[in-house]
Structure 1
Amino acid sequence: MTKISENFIQHISQQGLAPDELESFLSYCKKPLRRSFRVNSLHFETSSITQDWQNQGYQLNSVPWAKDGYWIDEDHKALPAGLGNYIGHQQGQIYIQEASSMLPVTALFAANPNPQKVLDMAAAPGSKTTQIAAMMDNKGLIIANELSSSRLKGLFSNVQRCGVSNVCLTHADGRVFGDKTPEQFDAILLDAPCGGEGTVRKDPDALEAWSLDSVLAMSKIQRELICSAFKALKPGGTLVYSTCTLSQEENQKVCQHLLEQFPEQVTVFNLENLFAGASKATTKEGYLHIFPHIFDSEGFFVACFTKVMTEPLDKESVSKRKFPFAPISVKELTNFKSYCEHFGWNISDIANSIWQRNNEIWYFPSGIQDLIGRIKMDRMGVKLAESHKKGYRLEHQAAIAFGDQFKTAQFELNAQETCDFFLGRDIYPDASLDNYQAEVLVTFNQQPIGLGKKVSNRIKNNLPRDLVRDGSFSSLN
């Protein structure tokens, strides 16, 4: 049962909601939240995925502000429990994402369609990072930052599952970017930590213990974060500030602080025409302040800013740390290219972006050179392989990110075999393995799910142990 603090009701009623709107808002807070997902267009055709859902009896409704986003009509057909264990999700076909949270990335690319270097300042669990990667078609560079160590692991898991190759993860307080990486990014998304008032339909207890003191404490952190983000933004760049909360103290007033701190450098990008119907939630400043009853969604806030062109800073004044990687040697690259031919994988297009550290071979996105040593990287790009005495061993992350470029050594599984694979089991296929040697790329619906090794009449499962899941299922029926 949803519990809403009377203090919150009194507070929010004083922030511009008319009495009838307040009544609608409180009514929607007690309704179940519509489930939604976004198709991972990096590796899958949206039309094919939606058709598969429709073939299984589901009715999907397009999210008007996200071209690959869909609501699932559970009045028509209910979802099975544990959707995260559906093999389509495990394969990275979809990202289970609340519809409102797709808005910030849409706003970012409406204002700046072709950024080459993007910072996602508070990135976990990865819904927006993977959405940004899809918008960039895995090109350019995304720095996905997360302060929480525990959430960083989940961020990496989702980036890997969705086959993102143009991201580097950092583990830092977002407030350091302004000083450590001044004017480095074409676009920055600050989906700020917040009070979460808009999540009450998903979390019935979100507003039970609400207090203004907590809101004001969070607002102080948000003001520091938004100023840091703006300093890290290149002149002419775009900054999107978003939260899943509703109080103006964490939204409009944080934005006003930015405008007051940089009055000559910042302009508002008006979001009134971002999508059909956006004007229903547009504030007088040009921000989107979405209450749950407006679009039958979570509550959300989105603001978009442009940094006025100025003289660039002297970036060389920033001290740099030693970097433990080096561009791959000519000899090592030749040997690695030869190994990749086993999979029919031509790595010529990425050869200039391959680095090495001891026996590790890595792919780093273009643009990372400018940031090397400025801020501590946690996981960079894609670990491709490790070398050993007998050659190389390909990494799971490489198979997911680049496997759709492999031409040979692929073995297609059926739905039940795919479930078994995600359960960590070896595969004993009915089809012959006579034409396969050693490592194979394991696929489902012609898309990679991992690596295996032919051992006699079975495929030894090489799925990383931390990706093994209990309860995998192949049908939504």
Structure 2
Amino acid sequence: MKLPLAFTEKMEKLLGDEYNQFISTYDNDHYKGIRINTIKASVEEYLRITPFDLKPIPWIEEGFYNINYEEQDRPGKHPHYHCGLYYIQEPSAMIPVEVLDPRPGDKVLDISAAPGGKSTQIGAKLQGEGVLVANDISPKRTKALVKNIEIFGIKNSIVTNEEPRKLASNFEEYFDKILVDAPCSGEGMFRRDPKATRSWSEFSVNECCNMQKDILQWIPKLLKPGGRLVYSTCTFSPEENEGTIDWFLKKFPEFEIENIEGIEGLDVGRPQWIQANSELIKAGRAWPHKLNGEGHFVALLRKKDNPLTASFKSFSLNKKDLDEYLRFEEENLIIDFKDRLHRVGNRLYAIPCDIPELTGINVVNTGLYIGEFLKNRFEPSQALAMALKKEEVVSYVDISSESIEAIKYLKGETLLLDGEKGWKLVCIDGYPVGWGKQIQGSLKNYYRSQWRML
């Protein structure tokens, strides 16, 4: 693999005796992993039905190496992927959320969230309790973020497409935990994505440092006293790692860096490389020659306690004209969302509890998208299907992942099935994947066209 000369010279200077061991890893393929979605299935439950050869990743209970990988058996092609039973993720990329340690009831911000790997990991750990705000500044990348959150069945999330300074005006001292998975030069992903080497330069490192600081300067206003911040990158660059955190700690002395516990194979920070604060040895570095994964940097910081002065207006619900939905709910669902319903135009959402007013923020998804009001009827959404369990609906159809019907459904075809007229939650191996509408001897396909298997 051809690496930029300036990069290899820099790494040789930094790593010294470790350099040969480090550079030899580029002769090997990168590690492939999946992370089980514990909103939908326990680890034990999914391991009983998985078609893949999986080996545990030591730093995350629900993460597994996908070994004996064959191109024709790609996990992105399997019906279980369409059911949202797992996320395909590079193993070391699972470390930052493990360090953040979100727990049910926490209010968590993922400020640079697209395409959604770490947001889905946070959402699974919250288990439907608390609030996840997943934000990204790129409108194009936000589309992938919405899809991944919806396919995972996360009910308590808001997706925003906004600059950090705008979020700070509405969410002042609101969050218990914040993840800044910062834009970076991507040196740690060269082995996984060789094309990334073409865009790398010393200039790109400096540009990334500026972007990282632009994001971090708003974090103190967003985080509660006593709250925790995880800053992570997928680069080796000390300027973007220890250097950026050194800048942050000097600018915001109300923050202190904490030790990272329980991540097997994680190396310490290297403040000596840039004469930074010696406390930065508490940060963590993932190296491909020290663990089975790619390159990551992670730092855990705590905002010191002080009296909470922030206040914010609560979000107000608009429950106008819900009759068509309530009729649908009564006929088709065993659960209800009545206390959380909010209508935006013809769209209906279930809002997470205890969120502030969102006026002035570009909100892409105001909670769980339930469905749409059409002429004299209500049509449920794909997102609602993915957030349900088969036990929560009046009627469902269950088909095997090994059957031709599963492939037909995922391709958008009508299924020739008998049954009572009306809406059916379509499941594969017992896990919801979308809607169908029974009409005489066939099931009309409502699987979202943009998600269909090609």
TM-score by length of 1: 0.87
After TM superposition, list the pairs within 5 Å mapping 1:118-157 onto structure 2.
118-157=108-147
Could you tell me which residue of structure 1 aligns to residue 432 of structure 2?
448
CA separation of 1:203/1:422 partners in 2, compared to 1, >3 Å: closer, same or farther?
A: same
Do the aligned residues in 1 keep the contact of 2:225 with 2:306 (CA within 8 Å)? yes
AA aligned opposite 1:355: H
User: Would the alpha carbon gap of residues 388 and 208 (structure 1) be closer, same or farther in structure 2, given more than 3 Å must change?
Assistant: closer
What does the per-residue CA deviation read over 1:122-160, in whole Å, with 9 as the maximum and x for residues that have no partner? 001111101000100022111111111211111111111
User: Unaligned 5+ residue runs, structure 2?
Assistant: 271-279
Confirm whether residue 18 of structure 1 aligns to residue 16 of structure 2: yes
How far is 1:209 from its partner? 5.2
Partner of 2:343: 356
Pairing partner for 2:65 from 40, 64, 71: 71
Please give the root-mean-square deviation of Cα atoms over the aligned residues, in Å: 2.2
Mapped to 1, the partners of 2:268 and 2:70 lie a distance apart of 30
Contact 1:337 1:346 in 2 (8 A): no
Contact map agreement 1:230 1:239 (CA 8 A) in 2: no
- Measured in 2, the distance between the counterparts of 1:461 and 1:50 equals 29
The separation in 2 between residues aligned to 1:146 and 1:295, in whole angstroms, is 30
Residue 3 of structure 1: aligned partner = 2
Contact conserved, 1:178 with 1:227, CA < 8 A, in 2? no
Amino acid paired to 2:282: G
Alignment-derived partner of residue 41 in structure 2? 44
The AA in structure 1 aligned to 2:416 is Y
**SS of residue paired to 1:362:** strand
Aligned partner (choices 65, 75, 82) of residue 90 of structure 1: 82
Q: Secondary structure at the match of 1:249?
A: coil
* Aligned match for 1:367, one of 354, 375, 378: 354
The Cα offsets for residues 443-464 of structure 1, whole Å up to 9 and x where unpaired, read as 1111211111112211000112
Cross-structure match for 1:343: 332
Partner residue in 2 for 1:413: 399
Q: State the alpha-carbon separation in 2 of the partners of residues 420 and 256 from structure 1.
A: 54
How far is the alpha carbon of 1:175 from its aligned partner? 4.7
Corresponding position: 1:439 with 2:423: yes
State yes or no: 1:80 paired with 2:56.
no
In the alignment, the residues of structure 2 paired with residue 141 and residue 423 of structure 1 have an alpha-carbon distance, to the nearest angstrom, of 33
Q: What residue identity is the alignment partner of 1:342?
A: E
User: Which residue in 2 is equivalent to 1:255?
Assistant: 245
Alignment of structure 1 residues 204-215 onto 2, 5 Å: 204-208=194-198, 210-215=200-205
**Contact in 2 for aligned 1:37/1:94 (Cα 8 Å):** yes
8 Å CA contact retained: 2:172, 2:223: yes
- The residue that corresponds to 1:475 in the other structure is none
Match of 2:258 in 1: 269
Q: CA 1:114–1:396 in 2, change beyond 3 Å: closer, same or farther?
A: closer
Residue 170 of structure 1 aligns with which residue? 160
The amino acid across from 1:296 in the alignment is N
Q: Distance in 2 between matches of 1:11 and 1:351?
A: 59
| Match status 1:379 vs 2:365 | yes
2:285 corresponds to which residue?
289
1:24 maps to amino acid = Q
- Pick aligned residue for 1:195 from 173, 182, 185: 185
Alignment CA distance shift 1:178-1:248 (3 Å): farther
CA contact (8 A) 2:390 2:425 kept: no
What one-letter code is carried by the residue in structure 2 that aligns with 1:70? F
CA gap 1:179/1:10 in 2 versus in 1, 3 angstroms: farther
Q: State the match for 2:275 in structure 1.
A: none
> What is residue 218 of structure 1 aligned with on the other side?
208
- Separation in 1 of the partners of 2:206 and 2:346? 50
Q: Distance in 2 between matches of 1:59 and 1:465?
A: 31
Give, in angstroms, the shift of residue 45 of structure 1.
2.3
Partner of 2:282, secondary structure, is coil
Asked if 1 retains the 8 angstrom alpha-carbon contact of 2:421 and 2:440, the reply is no
- TM-score, normalised to structure 2's length? 0.91
Match of residue 326, structure 1, among 289, 303, 317: 317
Contact 2:175 2:222 in 1 (8 A): yes
Instruction: Kindly state the Cα deviation for residue 204 of structure 1 after the two structures are TM-superposed.
Output: 1.7
Structure 1: unaligned runs, 5 residues or longer: 471-477
Identity within the alignment, %: 27
Structure 1 SS opposite 2:239: helix
Aligned to 1:473: none
Contact 1:343–1:409 (CA under 8 A) maintained in structure 2: yes
Q: Summarize the Cα distance change of 1:453–1:364 in structure 2 as closer, same or farther, 3 Å threshold.
A: same
Number of equivalences = 443
3-state secondary structure, aligned to 1:206: helix
1:403 and 1:441 in contact (8 A); partners too: no
| Deviation string, structure 1 residues 255-275 (Cα, Å, up to 9, x no partner) | 111110112x1111211x223
Q: Is the 8 A contact 2:230 2:299 kept in 1?
A: yes
1:423 aligns with 2:411: yes
Structure 2 letter corresponding to 1:453: K
Instruction: Tell me how far apart the structure 1 counterparts of residues 180 and 357 of structure 2 sit (CA, whole Å).
Output: 19
Amino acid at match of 2:124: A
Cα deviations across residues 366-423 of structure 1 (Å, max 9, x unaligned)? 122x142252212111221333454422222111112445242111123321111110
**Amino acid in structure 2 at the alignment position of 1:439:** W
CA contact (8 A) 1:123 1:146 kept: yes
* 1:191/1:242 contact within 8 Å kept: yes
